[in-house]
Structure 1
Amino acid sequence: MSHPDAPAAPPASRTRTLVVDAADESSFRSLNGVGGVPGPAVGHPDFPDMTPLWREAGVTVVRSFDWVSRLDTRNDPTSLFPDWSADVDDPASYNFAATDRWVESVHTIGAEVMFTVASSIPRNKLPAEDVELYGRVVEHIVRHYSQGWADGPARPVRIYEFGDQPDFGPLHFAGRPDEFYAMYRAFCEAVQRVDPTLTVGGPAVAFPLEADAPYREGFLAYVRENGLPLDFFSFLWFTDGSRDPLDYRHVSRELRALLDDHGFAETELTLCYWNYLAVPSSSAPAAEKGAFQAATAIALQDTVIDHAFFFRADSGRDPHYGFVDPGGVGDVDGRPDERSRALALAGRAMRGRRLGVEGADESGFAGIAGREGEHVRVLVANYVAPDSALAPREEDRFTFRIPIGEQRIELGLTLPPQRAELASSGVDAVRLELTRLPWTGRTASVTATSLTGSVDGPTEVAVSAAGTLQLEFALPPQSALLIEVTA
Structure 2
Amino acid sequence: MSHTSTRTLVVDAARESAFRPLNGVGGVPGPVEGHPEFPDMTPLWREAGVTVVRSFDWVSRLDTRDNPTSLFPDWSADPDDPASYNFTATDAWVEAVHAIGAEVLFTVASSIPKNKLPAEDVELYGRVVEHIIRHYSAGWAGGPAKPVRLYEFGDQPDFGPLHFGGRPEDFYAMYRAFCEAVSRVDASLTVGGPSLAFALEADAPYREGFLAFVRENDLPLHFFSFLWFTDGSRDPLDYRYVARELRTVLDRHGFTDTDLTLSYWNYLAVPSSSAPAAEKGAFQVATAIALQDTVIDHAFFFRADSGRDPHYGFVDPGGVGDVDGTPDERSRALSLAGRALTGRRLAAAGGDESGLAVAAGRDGDTVRVLVSNYVAPDSALAPRDEDRFTFRIPIGEQRIELGLTLPPQRPDLASARVESARIEVQNLPWTDAIVHATITSLDGVVEGPHPVTVSATGALQLDVPLPPQSAILVELTE
The TM-score range, normalised by the shorter chain, is over 0.9
Q: How does 1:29-178 map to 2 (within 5 A)?
A: 29-178=20-169
Q: How does 1:222-233 map to 2 (within 5 A)?
A: 222-233=213-224
Give the counterpart letter for 2:280 in structure 1: K
- Write the deviation string for residues 108-156 of structure 1: whole angstroms up to 9, x where unpaired: 0000000000000010000000000000000000000001100000000
Poorly superposed stretches of 4+, deviation over 4 Å? none
In 2, the alpha carbon distance for the partners of 1:84 and 1:355 equals: 54
Give the counterpart letter for 1:436 in structure 2: N
Q: How does 1:87-486 map to 2 (within 5 A)?
A: 87-486=78-477
In 1, the alpha carbon distance for the partners of 2:255 and 2:391 equals: 32
Q: Report the CA distance between 1:321 and its aligned residue.
A: 1.4
In 1, the alpha carbon distance for the partners of 2:216 and 2:97 equals: 36
Give the counterpart letter for 1:353 in structure 2: R
Q: SS of the counterpart of 2:243? A: helix
In 1, the alpha carbon distance for the partners of 2:4 and 2:221 equals: 51
In 1, the alpha carbon distance for the partners of 2:135 and 2:288 equals: 34
Structure 1 stretches of 5 or more lacking a match?
1-11
Length-normalised TM-score, structure 2: 0.99
Q: CA contact under 8 A between 2:286 and 2:356: conserved in structure 1?
A: yes
Alignment-derived partner of residue 4 in structure 1: none
In 2, the alpha carbon distance for the partners of 1:245 and 1:409 equals: 27
Q: SS of the counterpart of 1:214? A: coil
- Write the deviation string for residues 64-93 of structure 1: whole angstroms up to 9, x where unpaired: 000013100000000000000001100000
Q: SS of the counterpart of 1:264? A: coil
Pairs aligned (count): 476
Give the counterpart letter for 1:131 in structure 2: V
In 2, the alpha carbon distance for the partners of 1:171 and 1:438 equals: 54
Q: SS of the counterpart of 2:392? A: strand
Q: Report the CA distance between 1:174 and its aligned residue.
A: 0.3
Q: Report the CA distance between 1:322 and its aligned residue.
A: 1.8
Give the counterpart letter for 2:142 in structure 1: D
Q: Report the CA distance between 1:13 and its aligned residue.
A: 3.7
In 1, the alpha carbon distance for the partners of 2:357 and 2:404 equals: 27
Q: Report the CA distance between 1:414 and its aligned residue.
A: 0.2
- Write the deviation string for residues 264-289 of structure 1: whole angstroms up to 9, x where unpaired: 00000000000000001110000000
In 1, the alpha carbon distance for the partners of 2:477 and 2:198 equals: 44
- Write the deviation string for residues 204-250 of structure 1: whole angstroms up to 9, x where unpaired: 01000000000000000000000000000000000000000000000
- Write the deviation string for residues 363-410 of structure 1: whole angstroms up to 9, x where unpaired: 000000000111000000000000000000000000001111111111
Length-normalised TM-score, structure 1: 0.97
Q: SS of the counterpart of 2:132? A: helix
In 2, the alpha carbon distance for the partners of 1:147 and 1:485 equals: 44
RMSD across aligned positions (CA): 0.7
Q: Matched residues, percent identical?
A: 80
Q: CA contact under 8 A between 2:4 and 2:417: conserved in structure 1?
A: no
Q: SS of the counterpart of 2:97? A: helix
In 1, the alpha carbon distance for the partners of 2:378 and 2:452 equals: 40
Q: Report the CA distance between 1:42 and its aligned residue.
A: 2.0
Give the counterpart letter for 1:40 in structure 2: P
In 2, the alpha carbon distance for the partners of 1:332 and 1:419 equals: 35
In 2, the alpha carbon distance for the partners of 1:42 and 1:320 equals: 17
Q: Report the CA distance between 1:45 and its aligned residue.
A: 1.1
Structure 2 stretches of 5 or more lacking a match?
none
